[in-house]
Copies of this chain bind each other. A is one copy, B any other.
Amino acid sequence: MDKVSINQLSCPMPELDFEIITLGHGSGGLLSNQLLESGVFDLLSNEYLDQHHDGATINLTGRTAVSTDSFVVSPVFFPGGNIGDLAVNGTVNDINMCGARAKFLTLSFILEEGLTMKAFWEILVSIRNTANEAGVKIITGDTKVVERGKGDQIFINTTGIGEVHPTAQIGVSQIKTGDQIIVSGPLATHGVAILSVRQGLEFETTIRSDTRHFNHIVPPLMEAFGSHIHLLKDPTRGGLASVLNEVCRDSRKGIDLLQTAIPVLDEVNGACELLGLDPLYVANEGVFIIFADSEVVPGILEYLRQCEGCEMVSVIGAVTSDHAGQVVMQSAIGGRRVVNMLVGEQLPRIC
């Protein structure tokens, strides 16, 4: 299902006798129950959640991937999505980066007193639609409410559970000198989309977040290329530069990057120039990085080019035994420079 049709899966908010979230909705008592029974349970209904127990029981066999993320993005609604989409996609992707297909998600909210039920409902509908589209089930959850001024509208934690593909041998210890480094799509789109609507920084742009999951993309990739894929990474906070530096540090190898091969949308590049940002350090959502044996790279490129959001897939560099621990980039004008990890905080609360 493509993005347009997902967004059309609207779901009208039920008639409620309250319009805003209050502390009582986190009490565990009558108001908590009213909130959940108001339509939340119906909206997210499945055979696990319908048990209304403190936890869920699932059946699993074999290697299982687990990942957790708390989402604090600000603003909560942004061009191309909201914190709900992000909380589903982000954790599904972390599972995918283990060479796995995400199957289950837990969902935990910290709501700020005063959040409108309308905003909460819209986020819940996004969560439901994104989870359905990814084919993951929300199996258990939790809702807390904090006083006004002790939170920021809504924080969401999702924890994902998935099945690791039988052939997957993913890990920083697997990468080898000569491995090619592929990025699945253009960098910095998500970070710039958030920044474009950040209070005090609004600027005119049509850039939308590329938030998406790889639950339908990574499993076939593992099926086709198995242990030839050595590492998968999603370059979220800290951007491509920070993630590649971590890989260099942990693998004790070097990385050569080719600046001209790194895809960035023209308007994202323009916005970065305007704001003095380097796309290498801007947070990403809808792209991932592959370290793979060079012989399978043509096959990976051919496969990814026909996947939605990966049309601009590109080989951006390679692993080297030179300059261990360092990322070195050949720039567009020919010089070479060391690319360091992000220092400080370029863009807080981007996911």
Cβ B29 vs Cβ A242 within 8 A: yes
CB proximity to B under 8 Å, residues A283-335: 283
Chain A 1-34 against B: per-residue CB contact (8 Å), 1 yes, 0 no?
0000000000000000000001110111111110
Contacts of A200 in B (CB 8 A): none
Q: Given A52-B172, A52-B246, A233-B54, A159–B345 Cβ distance below 8 Å?
A: no
Q: Given A69-B142, A70-B157, A139-B66, A341–B56 Cβ distance below 8 Å?
A: no
Identify the closest chain B residue to A99 (Cβ).
Answer: B57
Contacts of A60 in B (CB 8 A): 60-62, 64
Cβ A110 vs Cβ B28 within 8 A: no
Contacts of A238 in B (CB 8 A): 27-29, 32
Residues of A contacting B: mostly? mixed
Cβ A345 vs Cβ B24 within 8 A: yes
Contacts of A55 in B (CB 8 A): 65-67, 94-95, 97-98, 100, 160
Cβ B68 vs Cβ A142 within 8 A: yes
Of the stretches A121-129, A146-154, A208-216, A255-263, the one at the interface is A146-154
Asked if A276 is at the interface of the complex by the 8 Å CB criterion, the answer is no
Q: Given A145-B348, A341-B33, A63–B57 Cβ distance below 8 Å?
A: yes
Partner of A29, one of B146, B152, B342: B342
**Alpha-carbon gap, A103 to B230, bound state (A):** 28
Cβ B345 vs Cβ A164 within 8 A: no
Cβ A57 vs Cβ B65 within 8 A: yes
- Beyond A30-B340, A67-B106, A147-B349, 5 additional contacts (C-beta under 8 Å) are A23-B345, A24-B343, A30-B242, A55-B65, A68-B107
- Please report A residues at the B interface, Cβ cutoff 8 Å: 22-24, 26-33, 51-72, 74, 94-95, 97-98, 100, 104, 106-110, 139-142, 144-147, 149-152, 155, 157, 159-161, 164, 170-172, 233-234, 236-239, 242, 246, 250, 281, 283, 340-346, 348-349
